[in-house]
Structure 1
Amino acid sequence: GGDSFRKRWANALSGIGSMHLEMRRFFGLEMQRLVQAASRRDVPRSLGKRRLTMGADEQLVRRWSAVGPRVYLTTTRKFSAGTSARPDAAAENRFAADAGEREELAGGGQGDSEHAEVAMSESERRAIVHRMLRVNHAGELGARQIYAGQLAVLRGTATGPVIEEMALQEKKHLDEFEKLLCERRVRPTALLPLWNIAGFALGMGTALLGTKAAMACTVAVEDVISRHYNEQVRELLAPEFESEKSLRDTFRQFRDEELEHMHTGVEHEAEQAPMYHALSEVIKTGCKAAIYISERV
């Protein structure tokens, strides 16, 4: 009733205060210090030379999550670019079940003798993997912020523990991708601060509409993310990526966990949210746009 509504708004105002402090970290004097520190780092341009310690690399990636484009502009040279992308040759097979993935992929394109497949170079393979890691890191950051925004409103309610459990899983995903970015010397997307704020705002906004709307947001986001992971798993089944079995298994595991989140949302009456279909389509469109941009920027 009225008490529940007032409690949600009180939690939301507290969350807005937290977001304000976060934005001050983005754009305050701390940014200048981090930019200067990053520009002084002695990082070899060549991937064949010595690597930095993992701790130092992880610090730079985490700072990127906070300050974004300015650090990106001053330190792009410190990471391999990885901006070229290979066309998705298996688009018609994207959503096949795991059991048939390899067979369908192997059979794709047979009989099309006019377009003989050219062997992929090592730099092309690396660019594709870098693109995947970049967009997945951005997606998991956004997912974590969505749940943070929802918890700013719904913490202390009956749904709070469910959201907290999903948020912990998203944090595990994000930590794994931050580690992979450092290990493989992949630059994050320059738009991390934008996804940081947009994710929090989306989570808080849907939570203010009620628990069912928050769960509708979860269902829409996790549907897009799980399908995207599935596309990547299928792409990594190609013979050129035979050496990426560990990465493929990681993507497959995370895909399955995102599907669990989607099913959790359905179980908590997401489809009974006001204007469910319209809300779902708007959120899905936004997620797809974020994926497209993060792969390229």
Structure 2
Amino acid sequence: MNKPFRQTTVADNIIGELDRALNNIFCKQTSLRPFPADNTTGDAAPLSSDQKRQAASLMRVNHAGEMAAQALYQGQSLTARDPSLADKLKNASMEEADHLNWCRNRLEELDERPSLFDPIWYAGSFAIGMAAGIAGDRWNLGFLAETEKQVVRHLDSHLERLPENDERSRAIVEQMKVDEQGHADLAEDLGAAELPQAVNKVMKLTSKVMTSVAEKI
């Protein structure tokens, strides 16, 4: 005899999101796509101690950013009003999960750890993502588009700062940049609203605080 179908409850969703958060913050996940660094022949020359520290600090920032992106997409998808938009956000979140894993792998290669503030980045971004979704789908998409544009600029600056001979880190950042630009383009194609300049400035300030802290701690 078949068991009756049980609908998902609010408690189920809360437990699921908590489990996802703990896994993202503390556990290494399996990437769905190949590790971009494996497409290189290795670093052009051994990294000096200073170069390793520089690369590790930048990859720690990228890892923190991807931790925030995971939470942001989850919050946005939970409050999106259009089910098809929620699905697109979840698909984009899967690419961001790859980024998170790639950055974590590279940090391990460089004998470094992620930011100690990762739980804070996750919690704050999840709340922001939910708020963006509650504001409405066009604003949700507008927030996503602006976030990804800022991330692309941020990754460009990292490509300038990474050691030239750090081919493995550079390969990861290059692929992340391609994906993030794709997410921004998708959001605009789906009808993203243009955010007020005041909101853009607050987003830039928040990003600056996170990157400055994550680079060191």
Q: Shorter-chain TM-score: what band?
A: 0.7 to 0.9
2:142 — aligned with what? Answer: 216
**Contact 2:141 2:192 (C-alpha < 8 Å) held by counterparts:** yes
2:159 — aligned with what? Answer: 233
Are 1:279 and 2:199 matched, yes or no? yes
Q: What letter corresponds to residue 171 of structure 2 in structure 1?
A: D
Question: Tell me, what secondary structure is at the counterpart of 2:193?
Answer: helix
TM-score (norm 1): 0.57
Give a deviation string over 1:25-74, Cα, whole Å, max 9, x none: 97xxxxxxxxxxxxxxxxxxxxxxxxxxxxxxxx9x95389xxxxxxxxx
CA distance, structure 2, for counterparts of residue 155 and residue 196 of structure 1: 22
TM-score (norm 2): 0.76
Cα 1:282–1:270 change in 2 (3 A) is farther
CA distance, structure 1, for counterparts of residue 16 and residue 171 of structure 2: 35
Cα 1:14–1:207 change in 2 (3 A) is farther
1:17 — aligned with what? Answer: 14
2:184 — aligned with what? Answer: 262
- Larger gyration radius, structure 1 or structure 2: 1
Are 1:138 and 2:64 matched, yes or no? yes
CA distance, structure 1, for counterparts of residue 164 and residue 84 of structure 2: 45
Q: Which of the pair has the greater relative contact order for Cα pairs under 8 Å at 6+ separation?
A: 2
Q: What letter corresponds to residue 245 of structure 1 in structure 2?
A: E
Cα 1:200–1:16 change in 2 (3 A) is farther
Cα 1:122–1:254 change in 2 (3 A) is same
* Pairing partner for 1:63 from 22, 26, 32: 26
Count of aligned pairs between the two proteins: 191
Deviation at 1:19, TM superposition (A): 8.3
Cα 1:215–1:186 change in 2 (3 A) is same
1:30 — aligned with what? Answer: none
The ranges of structure 1 where at least 4 consecutive aligned residues each deviate by more than 6 angstroms after the TM superposition are 13-16
* Pairing partner for 2:118 from 192, 195, 199: 192
Deviation at 1:21, TM superposition (A): 4.5
1:40 — aligned with what? Answer: none
Q: List runs of 5+ in structure 2 lacking aligned partners.
A: 1-7, 29-46
